[in-house]
Amino acid sequence: MGKERLAQLEYSEFQSAMLDEEKRRRKAAKIIAVLAHFLGKDGERGKGGGCPLAGLTVADIGCSAGFIADELAAAGAGRTFGVDIDVPGLRKAAERFGERVEFLCADGTALPFPDGSIDVLVFNHIYEHVVDPDAIMAELHRVLAEDGVLYLGLGNRLGVMEPHYKLPFLSYLPPALADRYVRLFGRADHYYERFRTRRGLRRMVRGFRVYDYTFPVLATPGRFAGGELFPGVLGRVVRAVLSAMPRPVLRLLLPLVPTYLWVATKGGRVPAGAKLPQPPEPVRPL
């Protein structure tokens, strides 16, 4: 058996990517662009050029050092929260951004918000790091407003290259073998993260209505600030292929896509943004 999974406290202390400000702000730009399209405010931008989240109450769940939460505030949010159990990260975040973001130390399974009180939730590449992602999804559902939106960045277990340790097929392995693999290459003492397949993720979000923005972002990265996904010549090739590929073929590829970008709601909201070459499609629930 693999090592017992306990909550990852002080995550920013051993995962330097959480302190990479430039990269985190690029991710935030992508998140805000996707949310803006879904909300029908895709003609607007964040800092210095519009407020796509104007007046909304926004919470970044798993905010760590606060860079994404800061960008959400800059995109016009009426009130912005950053929530995490990463105390060192929260301390850094509060020192820099505490005037415009309210940072809270709280577990995702017991969020300190009333029912239906948050207009926009961001849960970006967090689920694989938590002990009980299903409990957190239930809590996100509880605090999300009836007409609110939830942004989900979700890694896929069947993505070939594991994103944290850069070892191929690591996430495919059972825990005990994965532990040996990361130790063999000197990457970690054990493999903590637990990814799910697309089918498992669909089951995880079964209480929501979900739209998939993965292919829209890949096909039109300029619109969604998603150029870092496939930069340079590779990016141009990927965009050309995705733009020309029939939707049935794209759907066949979905189980192997390494990362999914989904927007979820509790009710009947649908994407309200401009028409796209590859439009967002509903994710069929399980």
Task: Kindly report, residue by residue over 62-106, the tens digit of the pLDDT.
Answer: 999 999 999 999 999 999 999 999 988 999 999 999 999 999 999
Residue 190 inside a domain? The answer is no
Beta strands in the chain (DSSP E): 57-61, 79-84, 102-105, 118-124, 144-155, 209-212, 259-265, 281-282
Residue 207 inside a domain? The answer is yes
Task: Kindly report, residue by residue over 217-249, the tens digit of the pLDDT.
Answer: 988 888 887 665 555 555 566 666 666 777 777
Task: Kindly report, residue by residue over 177-222, the tens digit of the pLDDT.
Answer: 999 999 999 998 999 999 999 999 999 999 999 999 999 998 888 8
Residue 253 inside a domain? The answer is yes
Residue-range definition of the domain harbouring residue 111? 11-157+195-267
Residue 171 inside a domain? The answer is no
Residue 99 inside a domain? The answer is yes
Provide the CATH number for the domain around residue 109: 3.40.50.150
Q: What is the DSSP letter of 264?
A: E
Structural domains counted in the chain: 1
Q: How confident is the model at residue 21 (pLDDT cuts 50, 70, 90)?
A: confident
Residue 169 inside a domain? The answer is no
Report residue 262: phi and psi, to 5°. Answer: -120, 150
The 3-class secondary structure across 137-155, one letter per residue, is HHHHHHHEEEEEEEEEEEE
Model pTM? Answer: 0.91
Residue 110 inside a domain? The answer is yes
Residue 163 inside a domain? The answer is no
